[in-house]
Amino acid sequence: MKKALAAILSTLALVISALPAAADEALVERWYQALLAVDRDGLSSLLADEAIIKLTDLEVEQSKSEFIASMDEWQVAAEGAAIRHRIVEKHGTVMTVLACYDFPGNDMLMQETFTVTGSLIVENTQATVAENCDTF
């Protein structure tokens, strides 16, 4: 009986420890789905009210409302695109993601960091890694 209980508790501990990682992956997955679909409401629901989006290459920092407003421009650029991504690192509330943006005429490899509080993104930083996705 004690061995069975120990086995159940060990299994439960493994399942519980996997929950945050699954939640992180789900958050990142929803982000890229909403971004690709230019789903302003979806993106807005993922961002904290005080969220900051940093586009490092352009030296631009946007508030949540500025980022959502920029979706008109993104909608034109993202037409026919695909996004592949993978979480490469996680430290506390910060996740680092490699994302390949496959546009019809070219592709681009980006490193993005997501700082999360609760279930909301409070900061997203984006920087170009390469002008193609060969190393993705």
Contact of 94 with 70, CB cutoff 8 Å:
no
Domains: count for the chain: 1
What pLDDT digit, counting tens, does each position of 27-84 carry? 999 999 999 999 999 999 999 999 999 999 999 999 999 999 999 999 998 999 999 9
Domain range for residue 43? 2-130
CATH assignment at residue 120: 3.10.450.50
Q: Is residue 135 part of a domain?
A: no
Question: For the segment 86-117, what is each residue's pLDDT rounded down to a tens digit?
Answer: 999 999 999 999 999 999 999 999 999 999 99
**What average pLDDT does the segment 8-30 reach?**
60
Is residue 26 included in any domain, yes or no?
Answer: yes
Q: How far apart are CA 19 and CA 119, in angstroms?
A: 13
Secondary structure in 3-state letters for 13-43: HHHHHHHHHHHHHHHHHHHHHHHHHCCHHHH
Determine, yes or no, domain membership for 136. no
